[in-house]
Amino acid sequence: CGGSDSGSEGGGDDGKLTLGFSQVGAESGWRTANTESIKASAAAAGIELKFSDAQGKQENQISDIRGFITQKVDVIAFSPVVTSGWDAVLKEAKDADIPVILTDRAVDSTDTSLYESFIGSDFKVEGQKAGEWLAKEYEGKTGDVNIVELQGTTGSAPAIDRQTGFADAIKANPNLKIAKSQTGDFKRADGKTVMETFLQSVPKIDVLYAHNDDMGLGAIEAIEAAGKVPGKDIKIITVDAVKDGMTALAAGKINFIVECSPLLGDQLMETAKKVKAGEAVEKRILTKEGTFTPEQAKAELPNRKY
Ligand code: AHR
């Protein structure tokens, strides 16, 4: 299983809140910023954080959670790699009276009593914002528009919802066609290799929709290597708005970015404290986020922290 940063045992009775957190991995710039936010907010809130990196594997997250139960932490939080397959381990946490908070990604458990709260973005709305921008770009124009899609990790909430939201938003215009859609696992290297295969198999690509900046940035390398101009020959839409993505947007290599904020640490610590104190918390805590055009990226970049 993924390595834990803290070896000490248990929540204990020292009055300090102990939070066990199982992170997805380190697949993207977004994830790195999310990990930093969680570590910094825990330190600032005086919370003892037991941080575990699951290296993209659900089985590692399940064993992380079991480890937190054995250590009797006060609260467990995790960002589920995929949506399904959590009921058994969440039930174990519930039976051990350890509250669970979901951050960033949802689970598909129908029994919502298995967790206290879910803090994070609405990925479907993110997909819709991407699709709405594209629909507007091609409003009133004729001719087929061939779109290729780089999906996130198969079975993950952001991949499922960003795909659905985007498809919903473009469906009114039959010219907008998704020619190919394949996973790039939210990773830059995979974005590049999958884009290479798209470029070989789709004769005319007009648009790339990548479920995160990193895959879009990998794809840009493939597009340039194929002698095409990203942002002009192929319009590019991504999600996240991390610094590297915003830099490419400001340079005109990406055309539009839908923001997904990784700064969930403070809300998580606040919610963990309330849960520990037995206070009521919101079942769904939604992250606020916007969208960026190249001009907006230029203005925002100097302030961008991640
Ligand atoms: O769950 C959030 C997604 O996971 C981010 O958009 C992506 O970059 C990350 O890997």
Ligand 1 contact via 27 beta carbon (within 6 Å): yes
Cα 126 to ligand 1 centroid, rounded to whole Å: 12
Of all helices (H) and strands (E), which one includes residue 297?
helix 294-300
**CA-CA distance, 128 to 236, in Å (whole number)?**
15
**CA-CA distance, 15 to 270, in Å (whole number)?**
16
Cα 30 to ligand 1 centroid, rounded to whole Å: 6
Q: What is the pLDDT of residue 33?
A: 98
Between the two ends of the chain, the Cα-to-Cα distance in Å is: 28
The CA radius of gyration of the chain, in Å to the nearest whole number, is 20
**CA-CA distance, 233 to 118, in Å (whole number)?**
40
Q: What is the pLDDT of residue 24?
A: 98
Cα 13 to ligand 1 centroid, rounded to whole Å: 36
Q: Tell which one of 53, 107, 240, 257 to mutate to probe ligand 1, the residue whose CB is within 8 A of the most ligand atoms.
A: 240
Query: pTM for this one?
Result: 0.95
* Token pair in block for residue 229: 């101009």
- Calculate what percentage of the chain has a pLDDT beyond 90: 94
Q: Answer whether residue 2 shows pLDDT above 50.
A: no
230 within 8 A of 220, measured Cβ to Cβ:
yes
Ligand 1 atom closest to Cα of residue 213: 8
**Hey, which residues does 231 pair with through a beta bridge?**
none
3-class state of residue 148 by DSSP: strand
Cα-based distances in Å from 263 to 120, 303, 305 = 9, 14, 10
Ligand 1 contact via 104 beta carbon (within 6 Å): yes
Which of 279, 264, 262 shows the shortest CA–CA distance to 77?
264
pLDDT tens for 130-180 read 999 999 999 999 999 999 999 999 999 999 999 999 999 999 999 999 999
